[in-house]
Structure 1
Amino acid sequence: MKKHMVVIGGGITGVTSAYALVQQGFEVTLIEKNRYPGMETSYANGGQLSASNAEVWTHPSTIIKGLKWMLKSDAPLLMNPTPTWHKLSWMAEFMAAMPKYRDNTIATAQLAVESRAHHFAWAQAEGIEFDHKREGILHFYRDKKGFDHAGQVSKLLAQGGLPRRAVTPEEIKAIEPTLHGSYYGGYFTESDSTGDIHKFTYGLAKACERLGVKILNEHEVLSVAANGQSAFVQVKHAGETDSLTFDGIVVCAGVHGRRLAAQLGDRLNIYPVKGYSITVNLPDGASQAAAPQVSLLDDETKLVTSRLGDDRFRVAGTAEFNGLNLDIRADRIQPLIQWVNQCFPGIDTRKVVPWAGLRPMMPNMLPRVGPGKKANVFYNTGHGHLGWTLSAITAHQLAGHVMAGMKDNVRSFMTPATA
């Protein structure tokens, strides 16, 4: 009889996990609190499938910049100075991970490169249209210091299997003619791509349903428990509370995973790092012609872009450490609009849709993929700023962990009865 796994969370990691598990023959139920999958952090991110952005943040320069920016409301990185035990413990572990900066950057690049094949194959197999654009990603730098650091990062990315090339200011202009401004240099990664994460997540969720995954939308998870052989989930739906039982559980609940992991006896030190985006509607031919086709990353402002079809342009970035807070602050959105006005003055920015999401970030910047303490508990979460980029390969890895763990669980459970 098939083992029945429950996946908690219908964002990109939950949906890819459900897809990978049902492909391996598991019976799968996916529980999502919103009306549709992909409505929170997987709704309006920067849209990049960016192996070139695999550099982890655990570098001394991050601390220096964070301290410098602390009192600037429009800074790329902003931290609420009010101390909490969660924030302090996360920061301590973040600094403790700094000696692993090189190794973790290389490992992340390797994962990102491997993830591509799965993303592209799944989209093709399931006929998912998600405004996919394979025009590469251009990182540009306004000074020599940033460009030189990028050169060192490129060496690490190359060790992870990702080639990218340095480009001159003239080449930047040739790669993306719509970009205004003067720049010191850049790095271009032809193999990177962009798309609409929400369309991809929703499309893959529909594919999951066709394959037999049961999706329980608008079900809020109140509590979880497991004893090694069974997993128990208490949910609230339409004002009613229900208790569901499964053979195993996979936690893909983003920033809410920390609370669920504690109930399952595991420590999952995820911190919610808020990011903002704007989706600029391009209402006329002039705006559409003035918007870039190539995806960009501006190193100084830490903003990324993606072109979503003919009539939408997404700009995203910033990192805000302020707990479970989804307020959309005008003083954080305005710099994104000003950046568009400065770099792409031909775009009409009257119709801009702001958004904020919480990245689930581990202190070492690596996702948590694998088993928990209980034999039938598993995790696929903590992907930080590379949730979409890494989601396909981590789902593939997760399926391997579940296959091995549930097989061992069955054997250990049956042995006493057959002895």
Structure 2
Amino acid sequence: MRTIVLGSGLLGVSSAYFLSQLGHEVTVVDRQATPAAETSFANGGQISVSHAEPWANPGAPIKLLQWLGKEDAPLLFRLRADMRQWLWGLQFLRECTPARTRHNIQQIVRLGTYSRDTLQQLRRDTGISYDQRTQGILHFYTSQKEFEAALTPAEQMRALGCERRVVSADEAVALEPALRHIRARLAGATYTAEDESGDANRFARELVKLCEAQGVKFLMSHTVTALREAGGQIDHIEATDAEGRFQRLRADAYVLAMGSVSPVLAKPLGINLPIYPAKGYSVTMPVKDAAMAHQVSLTDDEYKLVFSRLTPVAGSDGTDRLRIAGTAELNGYDRDLNRVRCEAIVRRVEALFPGAGDTTQASFWTGLRPATPSNVPLIGKSKLPNLFLNTGHGTLGWTHACGSGKSIARIVSGKAAEVDFAFTGV
């Protein structure tokens, strides 16, 4: 079957790889000159099944009121005359009930566990390398209230098979000695040994090489302008190349994996995807003092930040880096860097790990994460029989990439998915 994948981020590339594995003739189309150049470019680097509590949870409405108008707030709604933003916000509030939160955690954990297993199998099968670390992920808390609020979700995750173990402050420091500087402020922590970290952009680029070796074609610098329907299904897509030349591209099946742009292309087809761009930030800096820098990947739930160490493999000429990413700003498709938010991340890093990174060489990045109100992605069939969805992964695109890619490949191929998940159209 000829299949076109729209988007060459983590979700698009993983979809292409697994589709090719199942015998599809795959073409990937993307507006950027290189794969994984947008939201998959500089994310937090975590394969974090333990990061399954959605932004929409019972404590979120009060926090949002407290954060409203604060430029450095972890989650900032920058209210606009944008009906999509208001409708998304109302849906978000509906997802904040205890029952909806429990349901969403269940979906996120199931997909995350399957995806992590799929990534590990892919690594064994291919030897793919992406500065990976398999030292687990430690969620730490400098607020007693935040720590206590984390205990119930952690218990639910353990019941679902994600071993998010509650540990004391002393155990947290033993697991990650770099936390010794704030030992007196630590209320507690949770630790998931099976979680991992790594350079998501490098993974995507290495997976592209494996795809190309299998015959997958990549049409880069091709901007998709429309999906055209005829006879109740997608007839072709319209795109322009780097020189502005118009093209029609046809296939038997189409996978929409274009992140926050997905709802824009789906709407003219009468498909309303509950996705809104959540602008996330990251800071990358060289390690300055290795003794102060963390080794284990960390999550600071109070400030909505994740910390990864990206250490190049032996023999490479790369730099040992710290990657800190997180927060969310709902401000439409605006991509401008907000210096206040960037500086707030650096201040938090310096407060936790003084001198660990070279802040004078810090580079800042922002990307639009395709967020659903529930944090549960949209994977599966659409109402058009040859259009499939793999989008809406929000903050967990890297965590869910391989499992989502393998699942959509099986669904497109008429096979049952291997994970119990609320797939669309199934």
Query: Would the aligned equivalents of 2:48 and 2:112 in 1 still touch at CA under 8 Å?
Result: yes
Given candidates 392, 412, 422, the residue that maps to 1:402 is: 412
Which piece of structure 1 moves more, 230-239 or 351-360?
230-239
Shift of 1:154: 0.9
TM-score of the superposition, structure 1-length normalised?
0.93
Deviation of 1:229 (Å): 5.8
CA distance in 2, matches of 1:26, 1:262: 27
Tell me the percent identity.
Answer: 40
Q: Which runs of 5+ in 1 are unaligned?
A: 406-419
User: 2:50 is paired with a residue of what secondary structure?
Assistant: helix
1:225 & 1:329 partners in 2: Cα distance? 37
Q: Does 1:200 align with 2:203?
A: yes
Question: Quick one: distance in 1 between partners of 2:89 and 2:350?
Answer: 35
**SS of residue paired to 2:370:** strand
3-state DSSP class of the match of 1:341? Answer: helix
Instruction: Tell me, in whole angstroms, the C-alpha distance in 2 between the residues paired with 1:123 and 1:217.
Output: 26
Contact 1:274 1:320 in 2 (8 A): yes
The CA distance in 1 between the partners of 2:193 and 2:311, in whole Å, is: 19
Match of residue 223, structure 2, among 203, 206, 220: 220
- Among 370, 391, 398, the residue aligned to 2:380: 370
Relative to structure 1, the CA distance from residue 403 to residue 340 in structure 2 (aligned partners, 3 Å threshold; closer, same or farther) is same
Return the match for 1:210 from 207, 213, 223.
213
1:195 corresponds to which letter in structure 2?
A: G
Q: 3-state DSSP class of the match of 1:242?
A: strand
Superposition deviation, residue 388 in structure 1: 0.9
Matched-pair contact (CA < 8 Å) for 2:233–2:387: no
Assess if the C-alpha contact under 8 Å between 2:370 and 2:392 holds in 1.
yes
TM, length-normalised to structure 2 = 0.91
Aligned length: 401
Deviations 1:54-76 (A, max 9, x none): 11122131111111111211111
Mapped to 2, the partners of 1:264 and 1:84 lie a distance apart of 21
Q: Which residue of 2 aligns with 1:325?
A: 334
SS of 1:178's equivalent in the other structure is helix
Structure 2 contact 58–101 (Cα < 8 Å) conserved: no
Work out the CA distance in 2 between the residues paired with 1:159 and 1:24: 33
State the distance in 1 between where 2:285 and 2:305 align.
14
Superposition pairs of residues 216-365 of structure 1, within 5 angstroms: 216-227=219-230, 228=232, 231-237=235-241, 238-282=243-287, 284=288, 287-309=289-311, 311-347=320-356, 348-365=358-375
Distance of 1:225 and 1:25 partners within structure 2: 25
Match of 1:104 in 2: 104
Match of 1:385 in 2: 395
3-state SS of the aligned residue for 2:249?
Answer: strand
Report the alpha carbon displacement of residue 351 of structure 1 after superposing the two structures with TM: 0.7
2:317: which partner in 1? none
AA of the residue aligned to 2:34:
Y
Deviations 1:370-392 (A, max 9, x none): 11111111101001110110111
The whole-number CA distance in structure 1 between the counterparts of 2:273 and 2:143 is 38
- AA aligned to 1:222 is T
Q: Over aligned residue pairs, what C-alpha RMSD do you find?
A: 1.6
Q: Provide the C-alpha distance between the structure 1 equivalents of 2:38 and 2:125, rounded to a whole number of angstroms.
A: 26
1:235-266 per-residue CA deviation (whole Å, 9 max, x = no partner) reads 11122111111111110000000011113331
- The separation in 1 between residues aligned to 2:30 and 2:125, in whole angstroms, is 24
Would the aligned equivalents of 2:137 and 2:296 in 1 still touch at CA under 8 Å?
Answer: yes
More displaced 10-residue stretch of structure 1: 250-259 or 366-375: 366-375
Aligned residue type for 1:324: Y
Aligned to 2:57: 59
> Which position in structure 2 is the counterpart of 1:165?
165
